[in-house]
Amino acid sequence: MSVSVDIETVALNLRRAWDADEHVLVQVPPPMKAAIDGVMSASDVTFKYILVTGYVSKVTNPRIHARALQTGSRLRASYDARSVCHKVVVPFEKSKGNLFGLSNEPFVNKPARHPEHDENNGQLRNKPGAQLLHAALEAAQKATPEQLFAGLAYILSRGKTRAAAESQAQAVQAVTMPRVLKFCRKFLLETDGGARLVAVWGAFTSLLAEDATIKVDSPNASDQFSRTAGDVEVSYDQALVSASECKQRPLTADDVVHGLRKATRSGVPEYLFVISAGIASGQEAAVESAITRGEQSIDTALVDIHEELPWLVRSLNPKRRGEFGGMVVGLCRKMRKFNSANVAADLWNQLTS
């Protein structure tokens, strides 16, 4: 049998739990606290959303089973956890900071695509995490109303701590060119799926084209759904004038063909391929040929970030150089690359302090 959970009451309970004080938090039973700590300290983002959704839904309607994820669950009193999460939990998090991972649709991920959460589900790869989440949700099932609300408040308090721990890059009045250059080179030693190059190029583009609208997308975003021309787009008065494809792995001829196809589809007059790892071995001639063909209809160029970094850094005035680190951090967070954001902030503060 499925039951409903009132969305407005869920939002109210989240706000109440967010404002709860220490007198509430001490009511969390030790086994519940241990299980919540395990889920909140682990890397699996989806489990965190299942956890908070289960707790706030059960606080709102005590009849529901905290481990239920879909109305088709075999558990007694199932409910639509996905709707609760996406309609209330996700917007609530966005208003408070990175509490759980800042995912837009966490229940689309595989661990949440089951009728209920079960630690014995063979399709769940993270077995230790699945066991901790199972224990935390079962603790909610057995808790008194006071303990249950305290558990929800404790989950949110752990989220607050997570958000507060994120490093921030300090804006500096003046940063020397060698320090900005050193920051870029050190930061680009790792890739994070190519996001670090996108963040660096996006920051340069944003600071050098002050009157333009700059759009930066994660390199992991699906072209099919994002329909973007490139990782970094430049527009004036809503007219797209330039797009860049950033590759932090060796560039192939297929990359060039695919990028120019997106450029043609979007009608962009200029397309740049920004690279940091050179051209794939044996494909130099094919890449050059593909770019030459592209130049017949679109302004196309290959930009080696390591060769261009000195010029790019010199092009920033002292005020813009002082803002560079913070912009890289912000772009990493926008792409939900939180570890790289913290690395960038710490590196920037170290080099500019």
Mean of the per-residue pLDDT values of the chain: 92
Q: What average pLDDT does the segment 276-295 reach? A: 95
Confidence of residue 224 (pLDDT cuts 50, 70, 90): very low
Strands 232-236 and 270-275 come out as unpaired
Q: Which residues pair with 4 in a beta bridge?
A: none
Residue burial 230-245, b: 16+ Cβ < 10 Å; e: rest: bbbbbbeeeebebbbb
Q: How many CA atoms, within 13 angstroms, populate the side-chain half-sphere of residue 302? A: 20
In whole angstroms, what is the distance from residue 326 CA to residue 333 CA?
A: 11
Confidence of residue 223 (pLDDT cuts 50, 70, 90): low
> Phi and psi dihedrals of 263, rounded to 5?
-65, -45
pLDDT the model gives residue 221 = 63
- Per cent of the chain over pLDDT 90 is 80
Q: Where are the beta strands (DSSP E) in the chain?
A: 213-216, 232-236, 239-247, 270-275, 299-304
In whole angstroms, what is the distance from residue 21 CA to residue 26 CA?
A: 9
Measured in residues, the chain has a length of 353
pLDDT above 50 for 232? yes
pLDDT the model gives residue 227 = 72
Q: What average pLDDT does the segment 277-300 reach? A: 95
pLDDT the model gives residue 154 = 97
pLDDT above 90 for 220? no
Q: What average pLDDT does the segment 176-201 reach? A: 96
- Per cent of the chain over pLDDT 70 is 97
Question: Cα–Cα distances in Å, from 341 out to 111, 151, 173, 182, 190?
Answer: 26, 30, 21, 17, 12
In whole angstroms, what is the distance from residue 38 CA to residue 32 CA?
A: 10
Question: Cα–Cα distances in Å, from 176 out to 179, 180, 182, 305?
Answer: 5, 7, 10, 19
Task: Give me the residue spans of the domains in the chain.
Answer: 7-163, 177-352
In whole angstroms, what is the distance from residue 129 CA to residue 44 CA?
A: 7
Token pair, residue 295, equals 């130049």
pLDDT the model gives residue 225 = 46
Give the CA dihedral 215, 216, 222, 224, nearest 10 degrees: 20
The DSSP string of 7-73 is HHHHHHHHHHHHT--HHHHTTS-HHHHHHHHHHHHSS-HHHHHHHHHHHHHHHH-TTS-TTB-STT-
Report which of 301, 331, 312 is spatially closest to residue 184, judged by C-alpha positions: 312
Confidence of residue 214 (pLDDT cuts 50, 70, 90): very high
Helix 45-60 and helix 30-41: axis angle, to 10°? 140
Alpha carbon 78 to its chain centroid, in Å, reads 30
Q: What average pLDDT does the segment 232-238 reach? A: 95
Report which DSSP code applies to 78: B
Contact 108, 50 (CB under 8 A): no
Least confident of 70-79, 119-128, 169-178, 291-300: 169-178
pLDDT above 50 for 260? yes
Q: How far apart are the first and last CA of the chain?
A: 60
Q: What is the CATH number of domain 177-352?
A: 3.40.1350
pLDDT above 60 for 334? yes
Contact 221, 228 (CB under 8 A): yes
